[in-house]
Amino acid sequence: MPTYEVAERHSVCVAAPVEITFSAAMNCELTKSRVTQTLIRSRELILGGWAADRPAPHGFIAEMKSLGWGELTKIPGREVVMGAVTKPWEANVVFRAVPADDFQDFNEPGYVKIAWTLCAEPWGAHGGAHGSIARTETRVATTDPRSRRVFRRYWAFLSPGIILIRWVLLRQIK
């Protein structure tokens, strides 16, 4: 998503090779974190939503796909880019995958497009023999002026919790 309005980038150094770091990223259990559970429940209370009554699959990527996120691209063993369109300000948010070929041009009014990357890169001497860096980047673009206004209010209020979830993710990977 080359054009965006909000970007969040976070990273952590990991004392493991790229392959192990990326595998940990793909398979972490983010929703088992008490911090994440508390933030999700707080969002539900603030916006008047309710918890979905469904078992979460094991592994971060499997869980994101079960929520409606779609895979946009990947570099096996190294990087995955996921994306969805949504109305995050709604009480019970729904993520809708858009085919990778259509994602960049999606412009249906009333939505935001969100793309996020999860990757592991070599760090240290000898091409990463000493470790790796786990990175996450999230980009958001709105599809019309009204969505931009509504999203800006949502983001101004709830972004600290969203950013904290990214930090929890990186801590689990480490």
CATH code where residue 158 lies:
3.30.530
The answer to whether residue 123 scores a pLDDT higher than 60 is yes
The predicted model gives 80-97 an average pLDDT of 93
Order of strands, sheet of 131-142, starting from the edge strand that comes earlier in the sequence: 6-14, 131-142, 112-123, 79-86, 70-75
Where are the strands (E) in 19-111, listed by range?
Answer: 70-75, 79-86
Whether 169 contacts 14, CB under 8 Å: no
* 54 pLDDT above the threshold of 70: no
Residue 99 structure tokens: 């085919």
Whether 146 is in a domain gets the answer: yes
- Least confident interval from 69-73, 88-92, 114-118, 162-166: 162-166
Residue 1 lies in a domain: no
142-151 mean pLDDT: 96
Exposure letters 25-57 (e unless 16+ CB within 10 A, then b): bbebebeebeebeebbeebbeebeeeeeeeeee
Residue 119 lies in a domain: yes
Residue 153 lies in a domain: yes
Q: For residue 90, tell me if it sits in a domain.
A: yes
How confident is the model over 21-40, as a mean pLDDT?
81
Rounded mean pLDDT, 15-40: 83
Q: What is the tally of structural domains in the chain?
A: 1
101: pLDDT confidence band, cut at 50, 70 and 90?
A: very high
Is the pLDDT reported for residue 62 higher than 80?
yes
Task: Assess if residue 155 is contained within a domain.
Answer: yes
Mean pLDDT of 118-144: 85
- Name the token pair of 109: 């009014």
Owning domain of residue 110: 6-173
Does the residue 165 lie in any domain?
A: yes
Q: Which of 26-35, 72-81, 94-103, 135-144 has the lowest mean pLDDT?
A: 26-35
